[in-house]
Amino acid sequence: MALTNLEPDTKYYVKMYAVVEGVTYYSSERSFTTSKPALIKFASNNCSNLSGVTSSFRSSNGNTASWGIGSSGQNGSYWAAPDPNGSLTTCTGISYVQFNKTFNEDGIIRFWINTYNPGYSNYPPEIFVNGANLGSATEIGGNSSSFYWMQVESPVIPAGQNTIKIQFNAGSVYWDVGVDEIEFFEFN
């Protein structure tokens, strides 16, 4: 007997039964977990330019500026939050980069971040799609210390033409913010 229409990455419990001469007999309960759907990488962005990207950074004195390109990312150049004051400062508001991407199927993005704040951990960003907050990205690799780059993964992004915003909220103060090596995956 084959079970159909099961959800991926879900635990199910099953029990067999038989009715013999009006009496119902049950087997012991068993469980199984369906496998996760395969991820297929369909695009990547090495963050070497900001073409098609909108961005904003707000410093502790209220100045704002667009992001730029830095040279010491996880793998070369990266999207870098600027210093709108011309000297080292902290971010106190919302800092973000936003871009458009079409997904043919539901998917995720994986990327590297650095929220430099000596002595503290990297601060995972929130992911917005078409204005809706999907939740925070989760750590999947790299190093959580803000001296280094950490790889994160987004919550599931729905199929369709999407405006994706990677947003850092300064609930935790940090000195600098970087995003690098964005990879786009769809579930197969």
Look at residues 178, 128, 132, 180 and name the one whose alpha carbon lies nearest to residue 154.
128
Separation CA 20–CA 35 (nearest Å): 35
Question: Which residues, in sequence order, are CB contacts of 71 under 8 Å at separation 6+?
Answer: 77
CATH of domain 39-187: 2.60.120.260
Task: Report the alpha-carbon distance of residue 66 to residue 79 in Å, rounded.
Answer: 10
54: its two tokens: 């909108």
What does the pLDDT read at residue 147?
85
- The structure tokens listed for 31 are 């469980």
Quickly state the pLDDT bin for 87 (edges 50, 70, 90). low
The per-residue pLDDT for range 108-141, each reduced to its tens digit, is 999 999 987 777 888 889 999 999 999 999 999 9
Torsions phi, psi of 82, nearest 5? Answer: -80, 175
Which of 112, 97, 63, 98 minimizes the C-alpha distance to 83?
A: 63
What residues form DSSP beta bridges with 166?
A: 97, 127
pLDDT tens column, 163-180: 999 998 765 555 678 899
Instruction: Enter the pTM of the model.
Output: 0.80
> What is the pLDDT, as a whole number, of residue 175?
62
